[in-house]
Amino acid sequence: MTTSSESAGVIVVGGGAVGLASAWEVARRGRPVLLLERFALGHERGGSAGLERQWRVQYSEERWSRLALATLPLWRSLESVSGRRLVHATGSLWFGRTGVATSEGELRAAASVMERLGVPHDWLTASEIEARFGFAGLPRDYEGFHQADGGVIDVRGTLAALAGLGAAAGVRVREHEHVRAIAPDGTGVSVRTDRGVHRAESVIVNAGAFGGALLQGLGCPVDLHVFRMSSGYFACRGPAVDLPTWYAFVEPDASGANRSFYGFGRNPWTGGDLVRAAPDTEVPVAAADAADPQQPDAGDLARTADWVRAHLPGLVPEVRGAGTCLASLPADPARQFLLGTLSGRIPDGERVVVQAGGWAFKFVPAFGRICADLALDGSSSRHEGTVVLR
């Protein structure tokens, strides 16, 4: 094995969507960046796997809705400089039983945040949801809202855009280089990989669900709940069938497990007749690496097909394709994300920026900027209230 030793202003650990955004942000501010990715860019094992993510501005907590509203201009700017359309406003439909709270939020709470912020949306009964969007057989007490600016984000387009912009700005990417240890000190940070030891002034850890092991090694464990999610792809019955991005808040089962579902309409950038529907079910994994190789959960796919059969007559209720990937949330359900420096937690911790957990794709351009601020300036005045690492 060849050994190498490079130096940079900032080392970014992880080449998922947030890591690529962080690296580009640092590079465009004129600082040398080295990005280390343990697999190949675009691999399907991490949080940025698959084709699409939900774009929505509704949140049960006002600060996240505000952040989503502030992030949309950043997406538009990324689209403009990369020449790619990344966020498609296919609409966001949330419905189900009010009072059911999941890691997404809760219907009434999200609607009242939108009212406070002046975000337009239509409140709908079960019959209206069925008539407008093609759902069927919904319990009569279901209700919800449609928010027309919501929609879907092109995952692979985003990764390609950020990688291309990063390369043009001078980001050095090293694929298949696994970071084993991070050691900050009074003058910088040493980053040990399976190929050598690199040196930088600061490090940004954008390692997603895999980040726990690295931070444990730093003597600073982060409380991440790591799990696997499965998705199915279903065929539309005819060219007229389409759906907005949707989330159905279904009552938990007797054990309290989340039984909600979500899905997408036709993919605006690839077209085709297959649409994705999935259970919002978390299959825990002991450690991120233990989930490799990954198989979709057969029980989850069967439950999704049953739900499609009962409530989406425009789709053929047979799983035509399936996928699975790792996700992570802060173990504390009161937190949406972990983002901040290790200042005060370990010696020289201000040199280590950490972002992990949460439904973060919609915030990729904002989180990249905040990570770059923290690495270069030690603080971020942007989007106050977002930096919460505890």
Ligand X SMILES: Cc1cc2nc3c(=O)[nH]c(=O)nc-3n(C[C@H](O)[C@H](O)[C@H](O)COP(=O)(O)OP(=O)(O)OC[C@H]3O[C@@H](n4cnc5c(N)ncnc54)[C@H](O)[C@@H]3O)c2cc1C
**CA gap 390, 383 in Å, rounded:** 18
Is residue 60 at the binding interface for ligand X, with CB under 6 A as the rule? no
- For 202-266, give the DSSP string: EEEE--GGGHHHHHHHTT----EEEEEEEEEEEEBSSTT----EEEEEPPP-TT-----EEE--S
Query: Do residues 92 and 245 make contact, with C-beta atoms less than 8 angstroms apart?
Result: yes
325 is catalytic: yes
59 is catalytic: no
- Report, in Å, the least distance between residue 36 CB and ligand X: 5
- Report, in Å, the least distance between residue 116 CB and ligand X: 22
Is residue 369 at the binding interface for ligand X, with CB under 6 A as the rule? no
Task: Please pick, from the candidates 9, 11, 12, 15, the single residue that binds ligand X as defined by CB under 6 A.
Answer: 15
Is residue 271 classed exposed, middle or buried when 0-12, 13-18 and 19+ CB atoms within 10 A define those classes?
Answer: exposed
DSSP state of 176: T
362 is catalytic: yes
56 is catalytic: yes
Cβ closer to ligand X: 199 or 313?
Answer: 199
- Report, in Å, the least distance between residue 113 CB and ligand X: 17
Task: Please pick, from the candidates 63, 84, 178, 192, the single residue that binds ligand X as defined by CB under 6 A.
Answer: 178
Q: Report CA torsion sign: 12, 18, 22, 27.
A: positive
Cβ closer to ligand X: 47 or 340?
Answer: 47
- Of the candidate spans 7-15, 110-118, 138-146, 267-275, the one that interacts with ligand X by CB under 6 A turns out to be 7-15
Judged by CB under 6 A, the chain residues 180 through 219 that form the site for ligand X are 206-210, 214
104 is catalytic: yes
**β-strand pairing of 338-341 with 283-284:** unpaired
Per-residue buried b or exposed e for 34-66, using 16+ beta carbons within 10 Å of the residue's own CB: bbbbbbebbeebbbbbbbbbbbbbbbbeeebbb
Cβ closer to ligand X: 45 or 130?
Answer: 45
Task: Please pick, from the candidates 362, 365, 366, 389, the single residue that binds ligand X as defined by CB under 6 A.
Answer: 362
**CA gap 325, 291 in Å, rounded:** 9
Catalytic residue among 45, 325, 350, 371: 325
Per-residue buried b or exposed e for 125-149, using 16+ beta carbons within 10 Å of the residue's own CB: ebeebbeebbbeebeeebbbbbbeb
Is residue 179 at the binding interface for ligand X, with CB under 6 A as the rule? yes
Cβ closer to ligand X: 53 or 259?
Answer: 53
Task: Please pick, from the candidates 359, 380, 383, 387, the single residue that binds ligand X as defined by CB under 6 A.
Answer: 359
Is residue 13 at the binding interface for ligand X, with CB under 6 A as the rule? yes
Binding residues for ligand X, rule: CB under 6 A, are: 13-19, 36-39, 46-48, 53-54, 178-179, 206-210, 214, 229, 325, 327, 358-362
Q: Would you name the residues annotated as active-site residues?
A: 56, 104, 262, 280, 325, 359, 362
